[in-house]
Structure 1
């Protein structure tokens, strides 16, 4: 599947940091690490207010994905939510992610957030 290989190349074993997430929980210091196997996406995230989180999702189009996520915060809250994402590229050639998301458990609300590929250090997730 062509869209799987494109997303695999852009996401697999790559790390991302928050570029904009004014309404969400992740922020400075939160690092997301994704793995892609065919049309399946898994990931982990931690840092900032997130003690540990994980994600599972799928490829939905040539540059779109959907994820379910859950985490435990540094305040011992357990939260879960959903997101739909679009994969792009910035003017430096780094992969970008734009998500529309909402909470399913532990919190209420929804929002939009942006993430950018982190290329400055080895994988630490």
Structure 2
């Protein structure tokens, strides 16, 4: 049965993503995000690059939209936390894409926009 969350769940659940563009953010080359979706709830882990370990929790907010809270520990020992609102899409190669507007809540200031693409192995 199709639910408002079906498309996002199908596109995110148990899939990994890498950074396509995040010039203002901390994640970058080598950072891998692993998402899970369960009945509209989202959780993920991420690490690599400057991120020692991190996790996200959030929810599906529409047929192709999500919102997340995230926290991480950097390789320099900094603890950071923030928020993001994103759109789930598909590129010309059929890979899932994520586009976010985000901001810091703790440990840093500012925010920006970032883009991620599915890691296909």
TM-score by length of 1: 0.95
Higher deviation after alignment, 43-52 or 3-12: 3-12
Matched, 1:16 2:17: yes
Q: Which runs of 5+ in 2 are unaligned?
A: none
Give 1:1-125 correspondences, 5 Å limit: 2-120=3-121
Structure 2: distance between partners of 1:2 and 1:19? 29
Give, in whole Å, the separation in 2 of the partners of 1:116 and 1:48: 16
1:3 Cα deviation from its structure 2 partner: 2.0
State the TM-score, normalized to the length of structure 2: 0.98
What CA RMSD, in Å, does the superposition of the two structures yield over aligned residues? Answer: 0.7
**C-alpha separation in 1, matches of 2:108 and 2:100:** 18
Q: Give ranges in structure 1 of 5+ residues lacking alignment.
A: 121-125
Partner-residue secondary structure (3-state), 2:4: helix
Q: In the TM superposition, what whole-angstrom CA distance separates every residue of 1:78-113 from its partner, at most 9, and x where no partner exists?
A: 000000000000000000000000000000001000
Query: 1:32 Cα deviation (Å)?
Result: 0.2
CA deviation after TM superposition for structure 1 residue 5, in Å: 1.2
